[in-house]
Amino acid sequence: MSELPNFDNFFDLSGKVALVTGGSRGLGLHTATVFLRAGAKTVFITARKAEGTQGINQAVDKSNALPGIKGKAIGIAANVAQEKEVQRLAQQVSDIEPKLHILVANAGATWGGPFETTPDWANQKVLDLNVRGVFNVVRSFTPLLEAAGTPQDPARVIVVSSTAGVNVPHVGEHGTIMYSASKAAAHHLARNLAVELGPRNITTNTVAPGFFPSKLANGLIEILGGEEDLKKTNPRGRLGLPEDIAGVMLFLASPVAGYM
Ligand SMILES: NC(=O)c1ccc[n+]([C@@H]2O[C@H](COP(=O)([O-])OP(=O)(O)OC[C@H]3O[C@@H](n4cnc5c(N)ncnc54)[C@H](OP(=O)(O)O)[C@@H]3O)[C@@H](O)[C@H]2O)c1
């Protein structure tokens, strides 16, 4: 028999403080939700828009109404593609919490269209958020992560990349070349961060989702023939569900993933 001490707390986030960029909807909101449901003390939800049906405020309200949660969600609006905004966000978070145990760099942008006519502004937007933004967010929060991490239970950085970062998903009329390149960069950025920050008791992992219905993905899903057609191209015969991403995020943030 193996003892497996603390088995009951394997996925317990009690007392933990987390921040999810792009937490107002989609994969980020699934992530913020699972952290709260697993007992997190504070989950910062950040995105650009505060108001509206897709904004931070509705996400915070819904999150704080979850039954049985012990902690709370706090919303802070910030554009994480801009360094000054990232620094302000880090300052505002540190005014509320002196430590950050879990940082999810999830906010991302995409652009699709033909190679020849891809506007440079679109490439800049994608790279500014998906690459520079991830670097700046992690760098600005490193002091808070370092304050939280211990040798036994390191702080966590989770970078949300994409399967587009490891293959060539779409070229031609609906090409996503710079998105794919930006996600490949995000993968390698995360590898570098893992080596840079590991000795400071901060682990870094990358999650590379396939297709999940969301505001970001729905346009491309429709262009590619809709959910039913796209399902057939997936070895599991379906698209992602909220619990698929929530389970991975909970594992990577949990006490038992400290050696990942
Ligand atoms: N859904 C998929 O099929 C899929 C597959 C692979 C990878 N991913 C990745 O998963 C991540 C989340 O995507 P999603 O599908 O959940 O998209 P989504 O539903 O459109 O959510 C994107 C989130 O990012 C926020 N955001 C966008 N630009 C921002 C900025 N400059 N600063 C701060 N926040 C910003 C959005 O809020 P505001 O607009 O208010 O800022 C929103 O909260 C992205 O990195 C994406 O590349 C998604």
Assigned CATH topology for domain 12-212+242-253: Rossmann fold (3.40.50)
Catalytic residues: 179
Per residue in 74-108, pLDDT (tens digit) is 999 999 999 999 999 999 999 999 999 999 999 99
- Residue 71 pLDDT level (bands cut at 50, 70, 90): very high
CA 158 to ligand 1 center in whole angstroms: 14
**Residues 22-36: pLDDT tens digits?**
999 999 999 999 999
Who lines ligand 1 at CB under 6 A?
Answer: 21-22, 24-28, 47-49, 79-81, 106-109, 129, 160, 162, 209, 211-212, 214-217
Q: What percent of the chain has pLDDT over 90?
A: 97
- Confidence (pLDDT) at 91: 98
Three-state SS for the chain is CCCCCCHHHCCCCCCCEEEEECCCCHHHHHHHHHHHHCCCCEEEEEECCCCCCCCHHHHHHHHHCCCCCCCEEEEEECCCCCHHHHHHHHHHHHHHCCCCCEEEECCCCCCCCCCCCCCHHHHHHHHHHHHHHHHHHHHHHHHHHHHHCCCCCCEEEEEECCHHHCCCCCCHHHCCHHHHHHHHHHHHHHHHHHHHHHHHCEEEEEECCCCCCCHHHHHHHHHCCHHHHHHHCCCCCCCCCHHHHHHHHHHHHCHHHCCC
Asked if the model's pLDDT at residue 114 lies above 90, the reply is yes
Nearest CA to ligand 1 atom 23: 22
pLDDT value of residue 224: 86
pLDDT on residue 230: 92
* pLDDT above 90: residue 69: yes
Ligand 1 pocket check: which of 216, 227, 230, 231 to mutate, most ligand atoms within 8 Å of Cβ?
A: 216
Nearest alpha carbon, ligand 1 atom 24: 22
Mean pLDDT of the 173-197 span: 97
- 137 Cα: distance to centroid of ligand 1 (angstroms): 15
The answer, yes or no, to whether residue 216 has pLDDT greater than 90, is: yes
Q: Give me the residue spans of the domains in the chain.
A: 12-212+242-253
